[in-house]
Amino acid sequence: MTDTAAATNGAAQAGPTLTIQKLYVKDASFEIPNAPLIFQEQAQPQITLNLAQRVNQFAEGLYEVVLTVTVTCKVGEKTAYLAEVQQAGVFGLSGFNGNDLQAVLATYCPHTLYPYARQVVSDLILAGGFPPFLLQPINFEQVYAESLAQQRDAQAQAAQPNA
């Protein structure tokens, strides 16, 4: 039984591995540029969400992934608030081929970071005196697939000779 367990462990270690080394808030900011007058506005707020991600390999098999979530709330033409959070993580990745590595960095890593960023954004908005706000879940696999499709389309258009 010990030989089987050792063989199973050895086989698992030979394949791709992913570890979460550290999760942290790299940066957070919250602004209410039109306070206190904005609290008297009665118009329907318009919320804009922007996501960005960057990956930095800083050692062999270690990647820092930073997910930036920016929420802007406007009431009419005035900005009610601007919340921005950079949620980061250090991920250990080994044994992945190039395409699989890119897919893990673009899907699994931001999917792991997003709930933490969502909580920080929610806490900032609530602490700013505004009603609670909860960011909806995001399908990072779909976002990645759409990004790949856009890249393929752009490459296909660039490869076509001009008529």
In a domain, 54, yes or no: yes
Answer whether 106's CB lies under 8 Å from 140's CB: yes
pTM of the model: 0.84
Structural domain includes residue 34? yes
Peptide bond into 161 cis (omega under 30): no
Residue 152: inside a domain, yes or no? no
Tokens of 150: 């856009």
Q: Return the pLDDT at 39.
A: 95
Rounded to whole angstroms, the Cα distance separating 99 from 105 reads 10
The predicted pLDDT at position 13 comes to: 57
Residue 145 in domain? no
The CATH number given to whatever domain includes residue 115 is 3.10.420.10
* Residue 98: domain span: 23-133
Predicted confidence pLDDT, tens digits, the chain (163 residues) = 445 444 445 444 578 999 999 999 999 999 999 999 999 998 899 999 999 999 999 999 999 999 999 999 999 999 999 999 999 999 999 999 989 999 999 999 999 999 999 999 999 999 999 998 889 999 999 999 999 999 888 888 888 776 5
**pLDDT value of position 6:** 47
For residue 6, being part of any structural domain is answered with: no
Domain count, the chain: 1
Inter-residue contact 105 to 65 (CB < 8 Å): yes
